[in-house]
Amino acid sequence: MELCEHYLHYMSALCEGTMPAPPELALTADTTEERAAQLQSALKDLSVSDFVRLCAKSAGDELDEAIFDHFSEEDFSRALLQMLTAAAELEQPEEKPPAAESTPDPDAGKHAFEVFCDCVELDEQLVAYLIDILKRGDKAAFYKLSQVTTQLDLDPREFLYWLAHREDYGTDDERACAAIMDACFARLYEEKQGELLGALLSGDRKTFELFRTEAPELRHLPAATYEWYSKNYLDRDYPLRFILMCNGVEFPDTPEEDK
Protein backbone atom coordinates (compact mmCIF):
# COMPACT_ATOMS: atom_id res chain seq x y z
CA MET A 1 0.00 0.00 0.00
CA GLU A 2 1.40 3.39 -1.03
CA LEU A 3 1.55 6.48 1.19
CA CYS A 4 -1.47 8.00 -0.56
CA GLU A 5 -3.54 4.87 0.07
CA HIS A 6 -2.60 4.87 3.76
CA TYR A 7 -3.54 8.56 3.97
CA LEU A 8 -7.01 7.97 2.49
CA HIS A 9 -7.56 4.83 4.58
CA TYR A 10 -6.79 6.59 7.84
CA MET A 11 -8.78 9.70 6.89
CA SER A 12 -11.87 7.62 6.16
CA ALA A 13 -11.47 5.45 9.26
CA LEU A 14 -11.09 8.47 11.54
CA CYS A 15 -14.11 10.24 10.04
CA GLU A 16 -16.22 7.09 10.34
CA GLY A 17 -14.95 6.33 13.85
CA THR A 18 -13.76 2.83 12.96
CA MET A 19 -10.25 3.24 14.38
CA PRO A 20 -8.86 4.80 17.56
CA ALA A 21 -7.86 8.41 16.96
CA PRO A 22 -4.33 9.49 17.91
CA PRO A 23 -4.53 11.67 21.05
CA GLU A 24 -2.66 14.42 19.17
CA LEU A 25 -5.65 14.89 16.84
CA ALA A 26 -8.14 15.45 19.68
CA LEU A 27 -11.16 14.01 17.84
CA THR A 28 -14.06 14.10 20.30
CA ALA A 29 -17.15 14.51 18.09
CA ASP A 30 -19.81 11.82 17.68
CA THR A 31 -20.92 12.31 14.07
CA THR A 32 -18.97 11.72 10.86
CA GLU A 33 -19.42 15.32 9.73
CA GLU A 34 -18.23 16.79 13.03
CA ARG A 35 -15.23 14.44 13.18
CA ALA A 36 -14.34 15.44 9.61
CA ALA A 37 -14.42 19.12 10.61
CA GLN A 38 -12.24 18.46 13.68
CA LEU A 39 -9.84 16.42 11.57
CA GLN A 40 -9.49 19.17 8.98
CA SER A 41 -8.62 21.60 11.76
CA ALA A 42 -6.05 19.23 13.28
CA LEU A 43 -4.34 18.61 9.94
CA LYS A 44 -3.27 22.24 9.58
CA ASP A 45 -0.23 21.60 11.79
CA LEU A 46 0.66 18.14 10.46
CA SER A 47 2.50 17.03 7.35
CA VAL A 48 1.15 14.11 5.36
CA SER A 49 3.96 11.87 6.57
CA ASP A 50 3.47 12.80 10.24
CA PHE A 51 -0.28 12.22 9.97
CA VAL A 52 0.18 8.74 8.50
CA ARG A 53 2.81 7.83 11.12
CA LEU A 54 0.54 8.96 13.99
CA CYS A 55 -2.40 6.98 12.64
CA ALA A 56 -0.31 3.88 12.04
CA LYS A 57 0.92 4.00 15.63
CA SER A 58 -2.62 4.43 16.96
CA ALA A 59 -3.95 1.58 14.80
CA GLY A 60 -1.01 -0.71 15.63
CA ASP A 61 0.08 -0.91 12.01
CA GLU A 62 3.68 -1.47 11.04
CA LEU A 63 4.55 0.55 7.94
CA ASP A 64 7.41 0.09 5.57
CA GLU A 65 9.57 3.22 5.97
CA ALA A 66 10.32 3.03 2.27
CA ILE A 67 6.91 4.60 1.51
CA PHE A 68 8.16 7.84 3.05
CA ASP A 69 11.33 7.96 0.96
CA HIS A 70 11.51 10.66 -1.68
CA PHE A 71 8.10 12.07 -0.68
CA SER A 72 7.01 15.07 -2.74
CA GLU A 73 3.85 17.19 -2.61
CA GLU A 74 3.52 17.03 -6.40
CA ASP A 75 3.53 13.22 -6.56
CA PHE A 76 1.20 13.00 -3.58
CA SER A 77 -1.27 15.53 -5.05
CA ARG A 78 -1.30 13.74 -8.39
CA ALA A 79 -1.77 10.29 -6.83
CA LEU A 80 -4.48 11.53 -4.47
CA LEU A 81 -6.46 13.17 -7.24
CA GLN A 82 -6.15 10.16 -9.53
CA MET A 83 -7.39 7.80 -6.81
CA LEU A 84 -10.34 10.02 -5.86
CA THR A 85 -11.31 10.60 -9.48
CA ALA A 86 -11.18 6.88 -10.20
CA ALA A 87 -13.34 6.15 -7.16
CA ALA A 88 -15.91 8.76 -8.21
CA GLU A 89 -16.08 7.29 -11.72
CA LEU A 90 -16.64 3.79 -10.35
CA GLU A 91 -19.59 5.02 -8.27
CA GLN A 92 -21.33 6.48 -11.32
CA PRO A 93 -22.36 4.07 -14.10
CA GLU A 94 -21.15 5.27 -17.45
CA GLU A 95 -23.86 6.45 -19.81
CA LYS A 96 -22.91 6.11 -23.46
CA PRO A 97 -24.25 8.86 -25.72
CA PRO A 98 -25.86 7.98 -29.07
CA ALA A 99 -23.23 7.19 -31.68
CA ALA A 100 -24.39 10.03 -33.92
CA GLU A 101 -23.92 12.67 -31.22
CA SER A 102 -20.68 14.02 -29.82
CA THR A 103 -20.21 14.15 -26.05
CA PRO A 104 -20.17 17.76 -24.81
CA ASP A 105 -17.26 18.91 -22.71
CA PRO A 106 -18.63 19.40 -19.14
CA ASP A 107 -15.96 22.03 -18.49
CA ALA A 108 -16.64 24.05 -21.65
CA GLY A 109 -17.13 27.71 -20.87
CA LYS A 110 -16.10 27.32 -17.23
CA HIS A 111 -13.59 29.54 -15.46
CA ALA A 112 -10.40 27.70 -14.51
CA PHE A 113 -11.22 28.23 -10.83
CA GLU A 114 -14.60 26.54 -11.36
CA VAL A 115 -12.90 23.49 -12.88
CA PHE A 116 -10.47 23.46 -9.95
CA CYS A 117 -13.36 23.54 -7.46
CA ASP A 118 -15.17 20.73 -9.30
CA CYS A 119 -12.10 18.51 -8.98
CA VAL A 120 -11.45 19.32 -5.33
CA GLU A 121 -15.09 18.71 -4.40
CA LEU A 122 -14.87 15.11 -5.61
CA ASP A 123 -13.98 13.93 -2.12
CA GLU A 124 -13.79 15.32 1.42
CA GLN A 125 -10.18 14.11 1.79
CA LEU A 126 -9.16 16.31 -1.09
CA VAL A 127 -11.01 19.24 0.49
CA ALA A 128 -9.08 18.59 3.71
CA TYR A 129 -5.82 18.59 1.75
CA LEU A 130 -6.75 21.93 0.12
CA ILE A 131 -7.54 23.43 3.52
CA ASP A 132 -4.19 22.21 4.81
CA ILE A 133 -2.10 23.79 2.05
CA LEU A 134 -4.09 27.05 2.08
CA LYS A 135 -3.72 27.47 5.84
CA ARG A 136 -0.01 26.71 5.64
CA GLY A 137 0.32 29.17 2.76
CA ASP A 138 2.06 26.47 0.74
CA LYS A 139 2.04 28.08 -2.70
CA ALA A 140 4.17 25.35 -4.25
CA ALA A 141 1.70 22.63 -3.20
CA PHE A 142 -1.23 24.70 -4.48
CA TYR A 143 0.46 25.27 -7.84
CA LYS A 144 1.11 21.56 -8.19
CA LEU A 145 -2.47 20.68 -7.25
CA SER A 146 -3.79 23.18 -9.80
CA GLN A 147 -1.52 21.73 -12.47
CA VAL A 148 -2.91 18.27 -11.81
CA THR A 149 -6.55 19.44 -11.89
CA THR A 150 -6.60 22.15 -14.55
CA GLN A 151 -3.24 21.88 -16.33
CA LEU A 152 -2.72 25.53 -15.35
CA ASP A 153 -0.63 27.38 -12.76
CA LEU A 154 -3.31 28.94 -10.57
CA ASP A 155 -2.46 31.43 -7.86
CA PRO A 156 -3.88 30.64 -4.39
CA ARG A 157 -4.46 34.29 -3.49
CA GLU A 158 -6.32 34.98 -6.74
CA PHE A 159 -8.34 31.80 -6.23
CA LEU A 160 -9.40 32.80 -2.71
CA TYR A 161 -10.27 36.33 -3.84
CA TRP A 162 -12.37 34.92 -6.69
CA LEU A 163 -14.15 32.49 -4.34
CA ALA A 164 -14.79 35.22 -1.76
CA HIS A 165 -16.44 37.33 -4.48
CA ARG A 166 -18.17 34.44 -6.27
CA GLU A 167 -21.59 36.10 -6.20
CA ASP A 168 -20.26 39.23 -7.91
CA TYR A 169 -20.23 37.24 -11.15
CA GLY A 170 -23.71 35.75 -10.70
CA THR A 171 -27.36 36.67 -11.17
CA ASP A 172 -29.57 38.52 -8.70
CA ASP A 173 -31.10 35.18 -7.69
CA GLU A 174 -27.67 33.74 -7.03
CA ARG A 175 -26.60 36.71 -4.91
CA ALA A 176 -29.82 36.51 -2.86
CA CYS A 177 -29.49 32.74 -2.41
CA ALA A 178 -25.83 32.99 -1.37
CA ALA A 179 -26.60 35.67 1.23
CA ILE A 180 -29.58 33.80 2.67
CA MET A 181 -27.97 30.37 2.81
CA ASP A 182 -24.69 31.73 4.20
CA ALA A 183 -26.73 33.31 7.00
CA CYS A 184 -28.54 30.02 7.64
CA PHE A 185 -25.33 28.05 7.76
CA ALA A 186 -23.57 30.60 9.95
CA ARG A 187 -26.41 30.23 12.46
CA LEU A 188 -26.23 26.43 12.36
CA TYR A 189 -22.45 26.60 12.80
CA GLU A 190 -22.83 28.84 15.87
CA GLU A 191 -25.49 26.49 17.25
CA LYS A 192 -23.06 23.56 16.72
CA GLN A 193 -25.56 21.65 14.58
CA GLY A 194 -22.78 19.91 12.66
CA GLU A 195 -24.75 16.91 11.42
CA LEU A 196 -27.54 19.04 9.95
CA LEU A 197 -25.05 21.47 8.47
CA GLY A 198 -23.08 18.66 6.87
CA ALA A 199 -26.19 17.15 5.28
CA LEU A 200 -27.26 20.51 3.84
CA LEU A 201 -23.81 21.34 2.49
CA SER A 202 -23.64 17.92 0.83
CA GLY A 203 -26.92 18.64 -0.96
CA ASP A 204 -29.25 16.14 0.72
CA ARG A 205 -32.65 16.98 -0.77
CA LYS A 206 -34.87 15.59 1.99
CA THR A 207 -32.88 17.42 4.64
CA PHE A 208 -33.18 20.72 2.77
CA GLU A 209 -36.92 20.35 2.15
CA LEU A 210 -37.51 19.72 5.85
CA PHE A 211 -35.13 22.50 6.86
CA ARG A 212 -36.83 25.10 4.65
CA THR A 213 -40.14 24.55 6.51
CA GLU A 214 -38.48 25.25 9.87
CA ALA A 215 -35.73 27.79 9.19
CA PRO A 216 -36.88 31.37 9.91
CA GLU A 217 -34.78 32.58 6.98
CA LEU A 218 -36.61 30.32 4.49
CA ARG A 219 -40.10 29.34 5.66
CA HIS A 220 -41.71 32.57 4.37
CA LEU A 221 -39.75 32.54 1.11
CA PRO A 222 -41.74 30.70 -1.62
CA ALA A 223 -38.81 30.87 -4.06
CA ALA A 224 -36.60 28.82 -1.73
CA THR A 225 -37.14 25.45 -3.40
CA TYR A 226 -34.51 22.75 -3.64
CA GLU A 227 -34.00 23.61 -7.30
CA TRP A 228 -33.33 27.23 -6.32
CA TYR A 229 -30.81 26.07 -3.69
CA SER A 230 -29.13 23.59 -6.00
CA LYS A 231 -28.81 25.96 -8.96
CA ASN A 232 -27.72 29.06 -7.05
CA TYR A 233 -25.69 27.61 -4.16
CA LEU A 234 -24.67 23.97 -4.48
CA ASP A 235 -23.63 24.25 -8.13
CA ARG A 236 -21.78 27.53 -7.60
CA ASP A 237 -19.07 26.40 -5.15
CA TYR A 238 -20.52 28.17 -2.10
CA PRO A 239 -20.40 25.02 0.08
CA LEU A 240 -16.65 24.82 -0.49
CA ARG A 241 -16.27 28.49 0.42
CA PHE A 242 -18.24 28.03 3.63
CA ILE A 243 -16.20 24.96 4.61
CA LEU A 244 -12.94 26.83 4.01
CA MET A 245 -14.14 29.76 6.13
CA CYS A 246 -15.22 27.48 9.00
CA ASN A 247 -11.80 25.87 8.99
CA GLY A 248 -9.94 29.15 9.37
CA VAL A 249 -8.85 29.79 5.79
CA GLU A 250 -8.38 33.55 5.38
CA PHE A 251 -9.74 35.28 2.28
CA PRO A 252 -7.78 38.28 0.96
CA ASP A 253 -9.29 41.72 0.33
CA THR A 254 -7.38 42.10 -2.94
CA PRO A 255 -6.40 39.59 -5.63
CA GLU A 256 -2.75 40.61 -5.50
CA GLU A 257 -0.34 41.09 -2.61
CA ASP A 258 0.51 44.63 -1.62
CA LYS A 259 3.84 45.70 -3.05
Query: 106 pLDDT exceeds 60?
Result: no
Three-class DSSP category at 220: coil
Distances (CA, A) of 66 to 3, 21, 51, 52, 100: 9, 24, 16, 13, 51
175: amino acid identity, one letter: R
pLDDT band of residue 89 (cuts 50, 70, 90) is low
Query: 88 pLDDT exceeds 60?
Result: no
**Residues 185 and 201: beta-carbon distance below 8 Å:** yes
Query: 100 pLDDT exceeds 50?
Result: no
| Residue-wise pLDDT tens digits, 32-78 | 767 776 776 676 667 788 888 889 998 899 888 888 887 776 667 66
**Residues 237 and 163: beta-carbon distance below 8 Å:** yes
Taking residues 185-190, report their average pLDDT: 95
Name the residue among 157, 156, 175 with its Cα closest to residue 253.
Answer: 157
Cα–Cα distance, 40 to 43 (Å, whole number) = 5
Kindly give, in sequence order, each residue whose CB lies less than 8 Å from that of residue 79, ignoring residues fewer than 6 positions away: 2, 4
Q: Is 192 left (phi over 0), alpha (psi -120 to 50) or beta?
A: left
Residue 9 pLDDT: 83
77: amino acid identity, one letter: S
Q: Select the more confidently predicted residue: 45 or 107.
A: 45
Taking residues 159-183, report their average pLDDT: 94
Cα–Cα distance, 218 to 188 (Å, whole number) = 14
Q: Which of 59-73, 93-107, 145-159 has the lowest mean pLDDT?
A: 93-107
Would you tell me how many other CB atoms lie within 10 Å of the CB of residue 125? 21
| Mean pLDDT, the chain, integer | 83
Q: Torsion over CA of 130, 54, 18 and 186, rounded to 10 degrees?
A: -40
